[in-house]
Amino acid sequence: MKNNVNSKIRKILDKKMRTELYYIVLGSFLFSVAINLFIVPSNLYNGGFLGMSQVIRYLLVQYGHINFGDFDISGLLYFFINIPILYIAYSKLGKTFFLKTIISVVVNTFFLSVIKIPKDPLVNDILSACIIGGIIAGFGMGLTLRAGGSGGGLDVIGVYYTKRYPNFSVGKISITFNLLVYGACALLFDIPTVIYSVIYTTFSYLICDRTHYQNIMVTMMIFTKVNGIDALIMDQLNRGVTYWQGNGAYTHEGTNILVTVASKYEAAFIRKIVKNEDPNAFIIVNEGVSVVGNFEKRL
């Protein structure tokens, strides 16, 4: 019985990992497309570590008089800046998170380096470029986070400190760092460049938040006649499950009633577990619940 359960878990895990890696590569590609085809040609700047890489690139070209030709050095700078951050991911946040993060950073670096930056903007209107670039970049970032990885940089720092300090605000550190980046932009460039860059960054974060729903809490009530689903949920997700025996008022047949609380991201995985074990199971999901007590917050 135990071997059968472990085999089912491995099967679900393998499929889940393949899907997540696909999301990470696709998300990194979309993010790089947004940066190289919409943001950079409009002379705008990203927030976070990539924004810092773009500022360093400008300083090297403008004041260091280094000619990189058609090659955008920002991607490589972004990779080197992330090396100490990747060490934090490996040593403090687990090998799975580290693996997904390093794949994302490497793929981001690759796409940022190979996607040609057009000499003339694809969209002449700078506000339209902000919106289109924000939609694509935010969706790409959201896919990466949804797969349980990160783009490195502030994402890793935020996850690390959130796990270490439950009341830590990821938003505050992002805002503080981006103020430094855009403060540098204000000194180096004109104010409209800073304003439009902030509009782009804000819009991309809004789209990212809509795509990445990992911290929206849901309660799930599962009605099934199959035994062992509670063990799969606890073994795979390490989420507690409460269960009791009930009877259908119409059929008068016995049924197992399982109740658990999880993130909306985890709920999708729980549905796959239940569907795989019992295609006829009935599931009720309540979204946006408030959880108080011994509940592990995960990013």
Q: How far is CA 270 from CA 90, 246, 258, 281, 298, in A?
A: 27, 21, 12, 12, 16
Determine the average pLDDT of the residues in 217-233. Answer: 87
| Domain C-terminal end among 158, 179, 211 | 211
Q: What is the pLDDT of residue 200?
A: 85
Q: What is the pLDDT of residue 145?
A: 76
What's the pLDDT tens digit per position in 91-130?
776 677 778 788 888 888 888 888 888 887 788 888 888 8
On whether both 10 and 122 belong to a single domain, the answer is yes
Give domain status of residue 106, yes or no. Answer: yes
Give domain status of residue 296, yes or no. Answer: no
Determine the average pLDDT of the residues in 72-85. Answer: 81
On whether both 46 and 27 belong to a single domain, the answer is yes
On whether both 136 and 174 belong to a single domain, the answer is yes
Going by pLDDT thresholds of 50, 70 and 90, the confidence category of residue 266 is confident
Give domain status of residue 224, yes or no. Answer: yes
Give domain status of residue 244, yes or no. Answer: yes
On whether both 221 and 191 belong to a single domain, the answer is no
Domain around 233 = 217-287
* pLDDT above 60: residue 299: no
pTM above 0.85, yes or no: no
On whether both 82 and 164 belong to a single domain, the answer is yes
Determine the average pLDDT of the residues in 164-174. Answer: 62
Determine the average pLDDT of the residues in 282-294. Answer: 76
Domains in the chain, number: 2
Give domain status of residue 18, yes or no. Answer: yes
* pLDDT above 60: residue 9: no
Determine the average pLDDT of the residues in 163-187. Answer: 71
Q: How far is CA 271 from CA 71, 117, 245, in A?
A: 46, 42, 20
**For residues 254 and 245, is the Cβ–Cβ distance under 8 A?**
yes
Determine the average pLDDT of the residues in 29-50. Answer: 84
Determine the average pLDDT of the residues in 198-220. Answer: 76
| Domain C-terminal end among 211, 233, 253 | 211
Rounded (10°) CA dihedral 70, 73, 76, 82: -150
Share the mean pLDDT of the chain: 78
On whether both 126 and 39 belong to a single domain, the answer is yes
On whether both 105 and 33 belong to a single domain, the answer is yes
On whether both 199 and 270 belong to a single domain, the answer is no
Q: What is the pLDDT of residue 106?
A: 85
Give domain status of residue 89, yes or no. Answer: yes
Give domain status of residue 205, yes or no. Answer: yes
Give domain status of residue 149, yes or no. Answer: yes
